A and B are shown apart, each in its own frame.
Chain A
């Protein structure tokens, strides 16, 4: 999952930038690597690809700072869906 998200970020959000080699534990938000619009697109991609809904109150740094954070969040959302 991590690699799939990284590929999306590199090819869709940061297209045109060379030799990115993003890592799953890299801070994507604080440095301004992805802009506000990119963040929205990324969340839409995660929702569609992993069949989850990200409610507005979950738009937090803890869940979206790194690709690893996102993967953890997605797993938790899916489990929550199964239980409910």
Chain B
């Protein structure tokens, strides 16, 4: 019998029907209710012509409807594609076209954004979950939840695609990472085992659904029959309220990017709150600055901590768990390889003490959607003695092992960086700047802020120094790129510093900005 992600809900509904599955802004949905909603959405999707393997967009801020949408789409045999409502219209447009999305799930929180996105040219034929007047077929949540809740007759295998996460691409075009029911479930299984998740747990979900960190709450939560608290957009922006949410909901397992934890630390509330039930604090997405992490560990003596590492393509593949930090530790390891996972460190194609990390695991993506060129480069195929092939993903991350067998992150092979946990290809920003008619040369790099965070900065030359301003370029980039990829500042120079070979001297620019 196959095992698929929607079965997490039907199984939990059978054993724990009245247990709250998700809670957001004081409202909650039980496993029984969620199962019903999932089948209603799947039925509606089938009714509007959605077939197995079709991509269905989710365009909404974090809410209870997000959980229903995720599971409803998968139960219809379709693939859910999270779209960030905060990203520029042009990018949403691109993704709608590129993914061939004809049906979108949303809610009335997006009534201001929808008319700009859903035009006659967008290719979208149906928008579900809205009362906004749009040039296509629409249906409200009230109507959806008045439909039959018969389980849809669709044959889904665990190896079928389930969700598509779109991420920054170095050529200026986002790429879609396709995960299957199997890879999502394998990740949830490892997480339930590694953190000993159970029905008594209350999981804090901070990440938006276009970020793979979200799948711990959405998949592993129901697998453990736990309750997942979806932190609303408002909580995410107001760190003092976010910290209060941890106490109010008596969260037992928290998972977010380091920045969210650092902001809660700065809000000054963490140690004053009653967080005695908080047993795991998991963070991922970027490096936790050591001085803030030491403070966090002191503030939460009851909790264990886990530094989780893994690109979206592989899901989390290594973890470093600790209760306290050794005095002499200067950088936090990404830790040891998880179960059901094999890694290689390769340098010039040969196993080495340090080198590029390659990962093989059932948590691995199926591939980049419609990008055979990228898949060719991303996968390393190792022939086996039995005549088969083992497929590894090349992470592009350089690692080495320390004396205790923990992996240490050394850097990237390419120009990908992490900003507030989000993956950004610096070359995508450069390409976008160069498309501006008055920009003649552009260089994009990162710098470290006073509180040890990474921010993006750019230097450009222009053909119109009299008129073009930093504000013009920032506004231009805001229309083309997701908010986290827009540089914190852009400097104008008459001429770029160059290396001996004539390339733009990024090191020189970076040093200049760092001391500025």
Contact = CB atoms under 8 A, between A and B. Distances in A.
Contacts of B237: 29, 34-36, 39, 64
Scoring A17, A32, A57 by chain B CB atoms within 10 A of each residue's CB, the highest score goes to: A32
Interface string B212-236: 0000000000000000000011111
A30 B233 contact: yes
Nearest to A21: B112
A29 B240 contact: no
Nearest to B111: A31
A16 B112 CA distance: 13
Interface stretch (B165-173, B266-274, B351-359, B429-437): B266-274
Contacts of B479: 16
Contacts of B267: 56-57, 59
Contacts of B25: 30
Given A15-B475, A16-B475, A56-B268, A61 B109 contact: no
Interface size classification for chain A: 20 to 34
A25 interface: no
B85 A32 contact: yes
Interface string A12-32: 000111001000000101111
Contacts of A20: 112
A33 interface: yes
Mostly, the B contact residues are: helix
A36 to B, nearest CB: 5
Contact of B234 (A16, A57, A61): A61
A37 interface: yes
B135 interface: no
A5 interface: no
Contacts of A32: 61, 85-86, 109, 233
Interface in A57-78: 57-62, 64-65
B483 A37 contact: yes
Nearest to A18: B116
Interface string B242-268: 001000000000000000000000111
Contacts of B234: 27, 29-30, 61, 65
Nearest to B479: A16
A29 B237 CA distance: 7
Interface string B85-113: 11000000000000000000000011010
A3 B110 CA distance: 23
Contacts of B420: 36
A62 to B, nearest CB: 8
Contacts of A34: 237
Contact of A30 (B109, B266, B478): B109
B176 interface: no
B241 interface: yes
Nearest to A39: B237
Interface in B265-293: 266-269
Nearest to B474: A15
A61 B61 contact: no
Contacts of B239: 56, 59
A31 B233 contact: yes
B238 A61 contact: yes
Interface string B187-216: 000000000000000000000000000000
B448 to A, nearest CB: 18
A35 B112 CA distance: 14
Contacts of B269: 57
Interface string A37-64: 1010000000000000001111111101
A60 B238 contact: yes
A16 B474 CA distance: 12
B241 A59 contact: yes
B65 to A, nearest CB: 12
Contact of B86 (A15, A35, A57): A35
Interface of B: 25, 61, 85-86, 109-110, 112, 116, 232-241, 244, 266-269, 420, 475, 478-479, 483
8 contacts: A15-B475, A20-B112, A32-B233, A35-B86, A36-B237, A59-B240, A64-B238, A65-B234
Given A29-B234, A36-B483, 4 more contacts: A20-B112, A36-B237, A55-B268, A59-B238
Sort A-B residue pairs by CB-CB distance and give the 10 closest, nearest first.
A29-B234, A31-B109, A32-B61, A39-B237, A61-B241, A60-B241, A32-B233, A56-B267, A59-B240, A61-B234
